[in-house]
Structure 1
Amino acid sequence: MTPAARQRRMLVLCLAAVYLIWGTSYLATRVGVLHLPPLLFGAARFLIAGVVLTGIAFWRGFRPEQLSGQWHHLVAMSFMGIAICNGLQVWAMQWVPSGTSALLNASCALWIVLFGLFGARAHRPGRREMLGLAIGFIGTVLLVLPAPGATNPAASTPLVPQLAIVLACVVWSLGTIYMRNHALAIDLFALMGLQMLLGGVWMALAGVLRGEPAAWHWSRPGILALAYLVVFSACLAYMAYAWLARHATPAQTGTYSYVNPALATVVGYVGLGERMSLMQVWGAAVILAGVLMINWPATSPRPSVRAAPPEP
């Protein structure tokens, strides 16, 4: 298998992991924050996953001195990509349903492409990528539109929590581009594990300041949701996303925020009996068409289409 073919296969596998796991994580997060204090719930998720991934990194030979002069980048990544983004998300999802949250997160793809125009590794999307993003946005609008005679499910949701999720998307996208422009030459397990540990500490401190320890109690649904998010969302999917952030284009990386609303809608329909209108079915199909257009291999790819591999 040629290096290009291996790169393409890895791209497909990482995208599939991010699509499937994060598409179902909205439901798990919603269950978790309804049964456990939100910030401590999120902190536990990242602290546990961070310990696991950092332990694997040390077993693979990582040592802290390898980060000499780069700790400030790691702290910035953990603050943007973990603490602020996920802190806002878990707080808001006390009021915002999982499907609505997934729909609001669709804006991440546009923010990532916008911020990707700047920085040391700036990438200007081609016409096909822009068309794919536009198609994906149209599909997201179709998903949001209520069925004839129905009310918009977001209409009864408080505005401030929804705006908090949009702000989380902006911060997440900035963190993604920051990671792309400041690729750390360390083991990938160490990169993600230390980010999660630092981000989990920030979230735990915020939870303590909000008085959440007094509200903590052992809840079976909450613990099961936490276990799912630790193993699959915080470990497997974050590793896949980190690979995409360092190797794929911003447009490709951001496509998960189009697929996730479609999958979250299906999960809500199957798992919770939520009604799925014909308009939503068409929206899901249009979203997938946009993703296919962005990721379809070009016949003569330009050198700038893909991000360069990280420094050894």
Structure 2
Amino acid sequence: MTRYRNLALFLLLAAAWGSSFVAISAGLEYLPPVLFAALRYDIAGALMLAYAVYAVDRWRPVSRGEWTTVAVGAALLIGAYHVFLFVGQLHTTAAAAAVVVSLSPVLTTGFARALVPSDALSAVGVGGVCLGLVGVGVIVQPDPSNLFATDAVAKLLVFCAATAFALGGVLTRRIDADLPIETMEAWSMLGGAALMHVVSLGLGEPIEPAAWIHPEALGALAYLSLVASALGFLLYFDLLERLGAVEINMVSYVAPVFTALVGWLYLGEVIDTATAAGFALIACGFVLVKRRAIGREVAAIGRWRSSR
């Protein structure tokens, strides 16, 4: 029964995070990108902080290491990731963005190995990282005669988002700070929102509240703040404890399926062959990078079934 519960929560998380790319595309019709992202995390950060106060003993950072972890999370996991993602999605489809972001687990492994030379990737692992990058290249399809085409630049910005998220995840885990993950996420969200407000002002984005009250804009903001962020991260924390990092990383490869389905139903977006092929290459790259860990998980599932 527990495994069925975990599967149901896993699919719910994949649906919440996958459909969030569609909500971003919908909201960008009415709100400037960086301000949109900042408003999302104003709300989500406040909700997550309230949950941290309720759920954990230490709801605020104290030591220098804890504040450093929060600063890295705010700058990379929230700020840089969402600035690049929201700006990139102005000129690319939700499905393409979701597929490029699914490269994050592969990049995370690459960054982790790079920062620990004694734990270097094997030749097969390096091949997996390269295969994932090839997948991104297939999706972007850069034209040598026009490298700055709008669509190509947009997808490269989304790739920068995936890179920022992967690097931020590695750095926050390597900083010596015993901070509850709920507390780290809450303060990172609020700090990232503040940084994005500064970036929004620096870019001169228009502040026009009258445009934000459109039902679709309010719906997108509410969905991203309440479902994709607040509920999504609570599901993530629960599943991370129950399943472990390897299995929970697989959500990155199920989420694009929901993105494609919801994007087709709601926005009329159609997945092209290049996006599908790129997704397949990125997924294969993940399997090569994580082949040993995936093998252990498969063996564990086999032992669990045989013991029943």
Change (3 A) 1:103 1:30: same
Identify which of 184, 188, 192 aligns with 2:185: 192
Kindly state the Cα deviation for residue 221 of structure 1 after the two structures are TM-superposed: 0.7
* 84-93 or 130-139: bigger deviation: 130-139
Q: CA contact under 8 A between 1:50 and 1:193: conserved in structure 2?
A: yes
1:269 correspondence with 2:277: no
Kindly state the Cα deviation for residue 261 of structure 1 after the two structures are TM-superposed: 2.6
Identify which of 109, 116, 124 aligns with 2:112: 116
Kindly state the Cα deviation for residue 18 of structure 1 after the two structures are TM-superposed: 3.6
Identify which of 200, 203, 206 aligns with 2:199: 206
Residue in 2 aligned with 1:76? 72
- Within 5 Å, which residues of 2 pair with 1:3-42? 12=7, 15-42=10-37
CA distance in 2, matches of 1:88, 1:282: 23
SS of equivalent to 1:26: helix
CA distance in 2, matches of 1:135, 1:20: 26
CA distance in 1, matches of 2:167, 2:273: 35
Unaligned runs of 5+ in 1: 146-154, 302-312
Change (3 A) 1:276 1:101: closer
Q: CA contact under 8 A between 2:21 and 2:95: conserved in structure 1?
A: yes
Aligned residues: 286
1:159 correspondence with 2:155: no
CA deviation map 1:2-29 (0-9, x unaligned): xxxx7x7887566434422111111000
Identify which of 48, 52, 67 aligns with 1:53: 48
Q: CA contact under 8 A between 1:259 and 1:284: conserved in structure 2?
A: no
Residue in 1 aligned with 2:299? 299
Kindly state the Cα deviation for residue 266 of structure 1 after the two structures are TM-superposed: 2.0
1:229 correspondence with 2:198: no
Residue in 1 aligned with 2:172? 179
Q: CA contact under 8 A between 2:58 and 2:180: conserved in structure 1?
A: no
CA distance in 2, matches of 1:122, 1:254: 24
Letter in 2 for 1:22: W
CA distance in 2, matches of 1:139, 1:119: 24
Q: CA contact under 8 A between 1:82 and 1:196: conserved in structure 2?
A: yes
* 127-136 or 95-104: bigger deviation: 127-136
Kindly state the Cα deviation for residue 233 of structure 1 after the two structures are TM-superposed: 1.1
SS of equivalent to 1:270: helix
Kindly state the Cα deviation for residue 52 of structure 1 after the two structures are TM-superposed: 1.1
SS of equivalent to 1:185: coil
Change (3 A) 1:234 1:201: same
Kindly state the Cα deviation for residue 93 of structure 1 after the two structures are TM-superposed: 1.2
Residue in 1 aligned with 2:255? 260
SS of equivalent to 1:117: helix
* 122-131 or 57-66: bigger deviation: 122-131
CA distance in 2, matches of 1:243, 1:273: 33
SS of equivalent to 1:186: coil
Residue in 1 aligned with 2:88? 92
CA distance in 2, matches of 1:273, 1:65: 43
Unaligned runs of 5+ in 2: 142-147, 302-308
CA deviation map 1:191-229 (0-9, x unaligned): 211110111111111112222243443221111000000
Kindly state the Cα deviation for residue 129 of structure 1 after the two structures are TM-superposed: 8.8
* 165-174 or 214-223: bigger deviation: 214-223
Letter in 2 for 1:231: L
CA distance in 1, matches of 2:128, 2:118: 19
TM-score w.r.t. the length of structure 2 is: 0.73
Which of the pair is proportionally richer in helix? Answer: 2
Q: CA contact under 8 A between 2:140 and 2:156: conserved in structure 1?
A: no
* 63-72 or 271-280: bigger deviation: 271-280
Kindly state the Cα deviation for residue 186 of structure 1 after the two structures are TM-superposed: 3.2
Identify which of 102, 106, 115 aligns with 2:102: 106
Kindly state the Cα deviation for residue 270 of structure 1 after the two structures are TM-superposed: 2.8
SS of equivalent to 2:113: coil
